Amino acid sequence: MIETSPADAPPSASGAIIGPDGLRRPAWAAVDPMLRDYYDTEWGVPVRSEHALFERISLEAFQSGLSWAIILRKRPGFRAAFADFDPDRIAAFDDDDVARLLNDEKIVRNRLKIRATITNAQATIALREQGGLVDFVWSFQPDEIPEPATQADVPTRSAASAALSKALKKVGFVFVGPTTMFALMEAIGMIDTHLQGSHRRGSSGVWG
């Protein structure tokens, strides 16, 4: 249920929208209660466990070409269908599991993305010999971050996301393009693209 409309939430000088609670958020997180809660409590919070990071990579891959709201609403279904995103269990999925997932209305039923999740689980396990997924991904944290005043100022990819994409593909990951990896970096706190004036700007603790 949408509680307010953008017209009811005036933009601040920073380009953020002031909500009923007086806090500033970007337009995408200012109206839908689900997205607002996600923005306030999860988006941009550092993720430093293999399990959680693998889930984020998987969901970002499924999001490609779709809205994040669709993925977020289906996340409970994804977790149930994909063994709570346990890489060891998913890596053992076979053709029967793929058939099961293609018939599961609670997830996005895309054969290529389903198989990509299995492939990426196997790559995650193999990467443990090189220090693990978390250290691998976070090694691409850039030295600088954007300082967007409006959503139009937020880039959709960067040199760091392109480098991360290339490196992940080299070790066997798929559906990890530069734009998808930029979204991942935003979501897990590697970069801070909260708008200037947003109450979440700088909240990750990673950036001053």
| Residue reference for tokens 């196997």 | 122
Strands 17-18 and 24-25: antiparallel
Is the separation of the CB atoms in 17 and 11 below 8 Å?
yes
Q: How far apart are CA 70 and CA 78, in angstroms?
A: 11
Q: What does each C-alpha distance from 107 to 79, 88, 111, 162 come to in angstroms?
A: 9, 20, 11, 28
Count CA atoms within 13 Å of residue 149 on its CB side: 3
Q: How far apart are CA 195 and CA 141, in angstroms?
A: 19
Is the separation of the CB atoms in 51 and 85 below 8 Å?
yes
The residues annotated with a catalytic role in the active site are 38, 60, 68
DSSP 8-state assignment for residue 11:
B
DSSP 8-state assignment for residue 195:
P
